[in-house]
């Protein structure tokens, strides 16, 4: 990759109060851009003042959705270092998504270094306070103007940064989940294992329906038989059944979450049996009836661990662990956020120090 060019903003923004952050509502002073054009490849990496994009109305992203994205967070450690959590995994997954969407591959190492430079420049934007962090959103859009349905020849890669508040402003607490039996997020052969906009567009309707019924997230079933559990909202999902932890196997329509992978590693390191396999909602319900469904929780970058206290599937209502956060969920949340924030040892070498 060429040398990164940097144009500093001449007028810095006022930073929001740390109790007013929310998620993805405020953006920092600068962003990272890089262009792709056919023949020339990826070129002109640059840090510029954060500002609007100018795109032709026929830019392909507006019509045929060629887009991929990632999400990760930067934390400030008690020692004053700035760290990322397994960013190599995010950039590897970005390229995996690119492959599915026919978007040209990026140089992962060079991109990580460019992100590092952006974060160094914006380090004062990493908010203080328990649970706050700087959310990093790399994404690629097809910018070529034209209405022919095909892979574009021109793309823009962007990285924008947003200071975000703690997901649980009043401490980790369980959510109510609706098992979706009509809408489908993704299917085998589709784009489910890619992080691309269409998967999220597809899920908005079901999310609205669930919210209208008093639930905070949807549990997605497989698109083929509407039987097997896939994800919860935009998170991976885990169940503790009779002492064993089970999570749906990566089958092509499930996103390979980095928090998911980390949770599997941590549980195994504690000697817990973790099984990645197909699990039906019916099996789960039977386990619940028999008193064996001990915990359920989602995993993702935003919430890290999101305990599930209640699930509704057709006519069946299941309270899990008395509606309280389970022991594994609590311990995983504490240890994982502890590692991410540099407050605990890093036995798996997951932290990447931004220097």
Residues that bind its own copies (CB under 8 A): 22-25, 27, 31, 50, 52-58, 61-67, 69, 100-102, 135, 137, 139, 141, 145-151, 158, 160, 162, 182-191, 196-205, 207-208, 223-226, 233-234
DSSP reduced 3-state for 58: coil
- Residue partners of 45: CB distance under 8 A and separation at least 6: 1, 2, 3, 4, 5, 32, 33, 34, 110, 114
As a residue count, the chain comes to 355
Measured CA to CA, the distance from residue 308 to residue 321 in angstroms comes to 9
| CB-nearer residue toward its own copies: 234 or 335 | 234
User: Going by DSSP bridges, is the β-strand pair 217-221/229-232 parallel, antiparallel, or unpaired?
Assistant: antiparallel
| CB-nearer residue toward its own copies: 156 or 272 | 156
Beta partners for residue 318, in sequence order: 311
| CB-nearer residue toward its own copies: 26 or 176 | 26
Residue 329 contacts residue 172 (beta carbons within 8 Å)? yes
Provide the minimum distance between the beta carbon of 208 and its own copies in the complex, in angstroms, as a whole number: 6
Dihedral, 298, 301, 302, 304 alpha carbons, nearest 10: 50
Provide the minimum distance between the beta carbon of 240 and its own copies in the complex, in angstroms, as a whole number: 26
Other CB atoms within 10 Å distance of the CB of residue 193: 20
Provide the minimum distance between the beta carbon of 300 and its own copies in the complex, in angstroms, as a whole number: 11
Provide the minimum distance between the beta carbon of 148 and its own copies in the complex, in angstroms, as a whole number: 5
Measured CA to CA, the distance from residue 325 to residue 307 in angstroms comes to 6
- Residue partners of 316: CB distance under 8 A and separation at least 6: 285
Provide the minimum distance between the beta carbon of 235 and its own copies in the complex, in angstroms, as a whole number: 11
Residue 284 contacts residue 244 (beta carbons within 8 Å)? no
Q: How far is CA 154 from CA 52, 61, 168, in A?
A: 18, 11, 40
In order, the DSSP letters of 236-251 are EEEEEETTEEEE----
| CB-nearer residue toward its own copies: 240 or 260 | 260
| CB-nearer residue toward its own copies: 180 or 294 | 180
Provide the minimum distance between the beta carbon of 91 and its own copies in the complex, in angstroms, as a whole number: 18
Beta partners for residue 238, in sequence order: 297
| CB-nearer residue toward its own copies: 4 or 48 | 48
| CB-nearer residue toward its own copies: 225 or 314 | 225
Provide the minimum distance between the beta carbon of 174 and its own copies in the complex, in angstroms, as a whole number: 20
């Amino acid at each position: 990759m060429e040398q990164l060019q940097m144009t500093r903003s001449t007028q810095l923004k006022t930073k929001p109060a740390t109790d007013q952050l929310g998620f993805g509502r405020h953006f920092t002073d600068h962003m990272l851009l890089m262009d792709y054009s056919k023949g020339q490849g990826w070129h002109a990496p640059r840090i510029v003042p954060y500002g609007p994009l100018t795109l032709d109305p026929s830019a392909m992203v507006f019509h045929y959705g060629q887009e991929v994205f990632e999400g990760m967070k930067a934390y400030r450690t008690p020692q004053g270092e700035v760290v990322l959590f397994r960013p190599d995994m995010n950039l590897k997954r970005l390229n995996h998504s690119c492959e599915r969407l026919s978007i040209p591959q990026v140089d992962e190492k060079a991109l990580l270094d460019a992100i590092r430079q952006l974060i160094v420049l914006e380090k004062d934007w990493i908010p203080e306070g328990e649970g706050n962090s700087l959310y990093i959103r790399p994404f690629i859009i097809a910018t070529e103007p034209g209405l022919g349905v095909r892979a574009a020849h021109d793309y823009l890669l962007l990285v924008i940064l947003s200071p975000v508040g703690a997901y649980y402003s009043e401490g980790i607490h369980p959510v109510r989940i609706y098992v979706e039996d009509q809408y489908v997020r993704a299917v085998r052969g589709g784009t489910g294992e890619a992080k691309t906009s269409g998967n999220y567009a597809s899920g908005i309707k079901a999310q609205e329906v669930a919210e209208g019924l008093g639930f905070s997230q949807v549990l997605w079933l497989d698109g083929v038989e509407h039987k097997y559990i896939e994800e919860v909202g935009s998170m991976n999902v885990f169940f503790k059944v009779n002492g064993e932890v089970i999570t749906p196997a990566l089958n092509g329509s499930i996103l390979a979450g980095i928090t998911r992978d980390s949770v599997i590693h941590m549980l195994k390191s504690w000697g817990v049996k973790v099984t990645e396999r197909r699990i039906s909602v019916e099996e789960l319900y039977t386990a619940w009836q028999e008193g064996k469904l001990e915990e359920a929780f989602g995993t993702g970058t935003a919430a890290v661990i999101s305990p599930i206290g209640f699930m509704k599937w057709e006519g069946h209502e299941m309270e899990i662990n008395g509606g309280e956060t389970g022991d594994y969920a609590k311990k995983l949340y504490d240890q994982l956020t502890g590692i991410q924030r540099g407050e605990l040892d890093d036995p798996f070498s997951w932290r990447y120090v931004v220097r």
